[in-house]
Amino acid sequence: MQNRHNKFSALILTFSLMLPTASYAGIETLLIGEQQGNCTIRVTHDATPSSMFGTLVFRSFVVIDSVHHPCAATKSHVRETLSKGIAQYIAYNNLKPITSIMVGKISHFPWIKSDWLNKSQSGSYEKMSRSDFNALVSSEAISEPFKTALNKNGLEFD
């Protein structure tokens, strides 16, 4: 059996138009939590007890009056924090292998939203076809910080 840490051929970057990362359910293990300005950024490992695989969940938020509100994460914040979170994931021996990275709503990443609006044929990322959506998510402009974080930790992204 192949080592769980060296190849992510089925890795999926999970973006959502409407589903916040808070609605993802399972047993979460905090891998890293950092403050970037007024934003708190956390990377967790999430898996249900019955599943064979887990998901890395990237969240960026600010707490106002005890309520979590999303805040914008820059490419460098994503790259740096996710890289540290993946390093922690690798250090744990008891976590299930990951097959995806859940990053939440596109609107929380201004650099992604901007790229989508510039390239979208429909004028709105909500109206993009599935093939346009897949092409943009896998484009270098959008996937670079995620791929860089994986590669920095010796992982491959196909």
pTM: 0.76
Asked if residue 32 belongs to a domain, the reply is yes
Asked if residue 141 belongs to a domain, the reply is yes
Q: How many domains is the chain partitioned into structurally?
A: 1
Question: Which residues form the domain of 136?
Answer: 7-153
Query: Over the stretch 42-81, which tens digit does the pLDDT of each residue have?
Result: 999 999 888 898 888 888 899 899 998 888 888 898 899 9
Asked if residue 144 belongs to a domain, the reply is yes
Asked if residue 158 belongs to a domain, the reply is no
Asked if residue 110 belongs to a domain, the reply is yes
Q: Report long-range pairs for 57-60 (Cβ below 8 Å, ≥24 apart).
A: 57/21, 57/24, 57/28, 57/101, 57/102, 58/21, 58/82, 58/85, 58/101, 58/102, 58/103, 58/104, 59/21, 59/22, 59/104, 60/36, 60/108
Q: pLDDT tens, position by position, for the chain (158 residues)? A: 334 544 444 445 555 444 454 545 678 999 999 998 888 999 999 998 888 988 888 888 998 999 988 888 888 988 999 999 999 999 998 899 988 888 877 777 777 777 666 665 555 556 667 777 777 777 777 788 888 888 888 877 65
